[in-house]
């Protein structure tokens, strides 16, 4: 349950950007659904889980030239 919007409760911190557009998009969609209220939470969580699991099992799309990030060292 979110305390956002209750008097005396600080706003939720901004979600960091992961650099993976697919992950960032699904997390933003999840945040929007959670803001809609409790009825949307379960469906939003299930959809985010499915999408993130699929992302973990598929390779990332290559970055455009000049925008590649360095890999692990």
CA distance 73 to 44: 35
Considering only residues 2 and 56, tell me which one the structure prediction assigns the higher pLDDT.
Answer: 56
Q: What is the mean pLDDT of residues 41-48?
A: 89
Does 54 score more than 70 pLDDT? yes
CA distance 51 to 45: 10
Percentage of the chain beyond pLDDT 70 is: 74
**Interacting residues of 19 by C-beta distance below 8 A, sequence separation 6+:** 69
């Amino acid at each position: 349950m979110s305390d956002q919007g209750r008097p005396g409760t600080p706003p939720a911190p901004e979600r960091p950007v992961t650099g993976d557009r697919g992950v960032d998009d699904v997390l933003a969609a999840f945040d929007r659904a959670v803001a809609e209220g409790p009825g949307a939470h379960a469906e939003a969580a299930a959809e985010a889980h499915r999408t993130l699991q699929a992302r973990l099992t598929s390779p990332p799309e290559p970055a455009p030239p000049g925008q590649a990030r360095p890999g692990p060292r």
